Amino acid sequence: MNKVKELPLRLGIHRTYKGYHYLVTTLELAATDDHNLLFLSKNIFPIVARKYNTTVYCVERNIRTVIQNCWNSPCREILLEMAPYPLTKIPTVSEFIDLLYWELKSDSQDN
């Protein structure tokens, strides 16, 4: 299994959530060009929404749901460890995707 699919699983985000699939696709698209991270709602989410035949709003909402599940689970500690700064409150969708993106980037540079 590739690292993009493994990372959400490590955070307690399982494949049974629609948000898992949206998040994985978002991270894969962000990996093609990290400038896309600046414009998630305009660049990446519309592509994800088209792929899964849904709306941008649903993509963002389902990703927010998996973030909330991660935050309210014991896996929150893993997220707190990977953050380069103290997380005192639940991260926004953009912050969360940015954290995971840079975690994946640093993992690939370590190998």
Which residue in the block uniquely carries the two structure tokens 């707190």? Answer: 80
The overall average pLDDT reported for the chain is: 92
Contact 19, 26 (CB under 8 A): no
For 12-42, how does the pLDDT look when each residue is reduced to its tens digit (9 = 90+)?
A: 999 999 999 999 999 999 988 878 888 888 9
* pLDDT at residue 32 in the model: 86
Please return the burial class of 103, using the count of CB atoms within 10 Å of its CB with bins 0-12, 13-18 and 19+. buried
In one-letter notation, the amino acid at residue 95 is E
What pLDDT is stored for residue 109 in this prediction? 64
Q: Where are the beta strands (DSSP E) in the chain?
A: none
